[in-house]
Structure 1
Amino acid sequence: MGLPVITDYAQPTAAELPKPRASWQPEAHRMALLVHDMQRYFLRPFQAENAPLAPAIANIAALIAHCRARNIPVFYTAQKGNQQRCDRGLQADLWGPGMSWAPEHEDIIEELAPRPEDHVLVKHRYSAFQRSNLETLMRVRGRDQLLVTGVYAHIGCTATLAEAFQLDIEPFIAADAVADFSRDDHLSALHWIARTCGVPMTTEQLLKAL
């Protein structure tokens, strides 16, 4: 129970990205960016200075800066520590009690820290849409595309993308701005997303398109 120890692995390259079923293209006037669960608690299993985490952080930072400069809304998810069992729900059965309310657990890392103009959503379940007003905040801003970055690719990132699709929001994942338990998990998530609900792209491709 709890998070595993994660071995270093290389981020996927453009040549490794699966071909998506969808032909959607990212558009700056329709896009919102989500920085998913980049809290210290979730990043502890990684070697911070190595891949996949170090390049993921650098790529997320580049996407945040790019989006802020173009008035693309930036959203963050962040869980609260010391959750009661009734609030944590079935996640407690799989992952244990989770984080405490200490800053070394709850804080979003400094390299990606939100600004006052950004939106920080309290995270309750795998999907960022669950028990949050993410959809409403996107709709009132005329946004119907969502770009997901962060951790973990095969869990919360994938769940969020799948729910976005079911809400008729076009989902994109920055394939080298996410990280996972293993490279197999990471690549499997990209393949599942490409086949069922979204478009994987590299950070370089996204920066050019946006």
Structure 2
Amino acid sequence: MNESGFRYDPKRCALVVIDMQNDFCSPDGALAGCGFDVSAATAMTPRLANLIDHARDAGVPVVWVRTEHDETTDSPQWLGRVGNGPGTARTGLTCRPGTPGAEFYGVRPAVGEPLVVKHRFSAFVGTDLDRVLRSRGIESLLFTGVATEICVESSLRSGLFHEYWVSLVEDCAASYDPAAHAASVAVVAQNFGTVVTADELISRWPARPVTRSA
């Protein structure tokens, strides 16, 4: 099997869905309320929902990652990451546990699909994602969700550093800035993995035959 075939083989890969949550995607969410343009995320969501349906039909595991932030994980370094220290902490906090903003937007896990909660950009930092994947024999990861150049790319890079084959599903990831999305796609293709579209994956994933009882 060639490299691309290996990456997308339903027996070896998983579809990883990153941060499809109201605060990040909904026009009524926290980021939209702060002036971020979420139109790309809302437009991408039906494509992602369709890809998830095809993945399930083909027996491709779907692994969900969601963000939660609260006072137990909001360190001064995290809140002040784009400023000059604790006195420049960010406002407009997102995905507080138990709030509507932390809930899924447009897509959601089916019964039995693994769900990993993260507190930083990378889905591997401080989580059991690596254990979840290895226990299922997964060797290749197909990344989707938001935002392309932030949590999706951070998780993809970490996936490579954990010795997985990694790919970005270009049209099932979204950013708040088209130029940032395009730059992330280019960086991934040049340095980290492959870039693929939903239609290309669907064409590779024949639905599993239905087993009928006698």
Q: Does 1:63 align with 2:27?
A: no
Aligned to 1:116: 111
Aligned to 2:11: 29
* RMSD of aligned residue pairs (Cα, Å): 2.0
For residues 155-181 of structure 1, give each alpha carbon's deviation from its aligned partner in whole angstroms, at most 9, with x where no partner exists.
Answer: 111111111111110111110111112
Structure with the bigger RCO (C-alpha within 8 Å, sep 6+) is: 1
Contact 2:116 2:127 in 1 (8 A): yes
Change (3 A) 1:63 1:39: same
Of residues 103, 106, 120 in structure 2, which corresponds to 1:107? 103
Percent identity over the alignment is 23
Secondary structure at 2:143's aligned position in 1?
Answer: strand
Question: How many angstroms apart in 1 are the aligned matches of 2:119 and 2:37?
Answer: 26
Contact 2:37 2:176 in 1 (8 A): no
Aligned to 1:5: none
Aligned to 2:204: 209
Aligned to 2:168: 173
For residues 105-138 of structure 1, give each alpha carbon's deviation from its aligned partner in whole angstroms, at most 9, with x where no partner exists.
Answer: 11012x3011221111111111111111111111
Q: Is the radius of gyration larger for structure 1 or structure 2?
A: 2
Which runs of 5 or more structure 2 residues have no equivalent in the other structure?
83-89, 206-214
Moved over 4 A (4+): none
Superposed displacement of residue 94, structure 1:
3.6
Superposed displacement of residue 59, structure 1:
1.4
Which runs of 5 or more structure 1 residues have no equivalent in the other structure?
1-21
Q: How many pairs were matched up?
A: 184
Of residues 10, 18, 22 in structure 2, which corresponds to 1:40? 22
Question: How many angstroms apart in 2 are the aligned matches of 1:167 and 1:36?
Answer: 17
Aligned to 1:92: 79
Contact 2:37 2:177 in 1 (8 A): no
Question: TM-score normalised to the size of structure 1?
Answer: 0.80
For residues 9-51 of structure 1, give each alpha carbon's deviation from its aligned partner in whole angstroms, at most 9, with x where no partner exists.
Answer: xxxxxxxxxxxxx953311111111110011011132666x5x
Question: TM-score normalised to the size of structure 2?
Answer: 0.79
